[in-house]
Structure 1
């Protein structure tokens, strides 16, 4: 089953959805005009009222929805995906993609396509099956003060 997971990751790289940035850098360009959702303030959570983040949502040709959570400095601190196929995870996760593939390779006889890892520098949760994939990832040190990770859709 590990081969199936690695094959799934490889196929996601070949699906043709182009992106130009990654987790921890500027928002991605998936070849479609992203829908910028309203800036969200964390003031209600008791944080500094100037702490704002924006959610950028793109729908890929495959129908998969990708959301990028961008801080006030323009850096992506979290991403999520949900849809019939995986987005280009290598591009979406950037240098954190190696963490994902290393964790997948260490799983002995993975009996399912679920993967959850929490490390000091990144948290990645990915799972699903054909035509129903979902996941999210974030950089704990980059989260705005007061941000609740359960808000990641």
Structure 2
């Protein structure tokens, strides 16, 4: 059941580890977030762009200074298209989901050297996030992923 839920959703156009998405409408840009308070440097080391899909689901992309998405998050009444949102990391998610017992599990958390993915929820209340550990900016705290 979880696998079927993961395969359906609203169309998204981003991929973890690639360029930011284009959701068909202008995304709401949250200004550059900076680690300046931590490091004392005034340069933003990543930006966060937020898009609300037609389903009402909010997708956030964390983009480094090279323009690469190093983390994504989602929350809302429907899952986004995780195949597109996670890119080549989607196969890791489906592989892990296939190895789990089917009944009664609506949450999946996996931590591998190449990707961390946490996804869970139930009908009309889904949330999750994923990131590539090697792509995180120096000093980035994954606890800030909303």
More deviation, 116-125/28-37: 28-37
Query: Using the alignment, how far apart are the partners of 2:37 and 2:104 within structure 1?
Result: 42
| 1:10 CA drift (Å) | 2.2
Structure 1 unaligned segments of length 5 or more: list them. Answer: none
C-alpha separation in 1, matches of 2:122 and 2:140? 30
Asked whether the 8 Å contact 1:37–1:56 carries over to 2, the reply is yes
Match in the other structure for 2:67: 74
- Between the aligned partners of 1:95 and 1:49, the Cα distance in structure 2 is 34
Hey, what does 2:131 align to over in structure 1?
138
| 1:38 alignment partner in structure 2 | 31
Pairs within 5 Å for 1:56-75: 56-75=49-68
Q: TM-score, normalised on structure 1?
A: 0.90
Aligned equivalent of 1:11: 8
Does the residue aligned with 1:107 lie in a helix, a strand or coil?
Answer: coil
Q: How much has 1:31 moved relative to structure 2?
A: 1.6
Q: Which residue of 2 aligns with 1:95?
A: 88
2:7–2:83: 8 Å Cα contact kept in structure 1? no
Q: 1:109 aligns with which of 75, 83, 102?
A: 102
RMSD: 1.4
Q: Which runs of 4+ in 1 moved over 4 A?
A: none
Query: In the aligned structure 1, how far is the partner of 2:103 from the partner of 2:139?
Result: 35
Q: What is the CA–CA distance in structure 1 between the aligned matches of 2:137 and 2:103, rounded to whole Å?
A: 34
Q: In the aligned structure 2, how far is the partner of 1:91 from the partner of 1:149?
A: 22
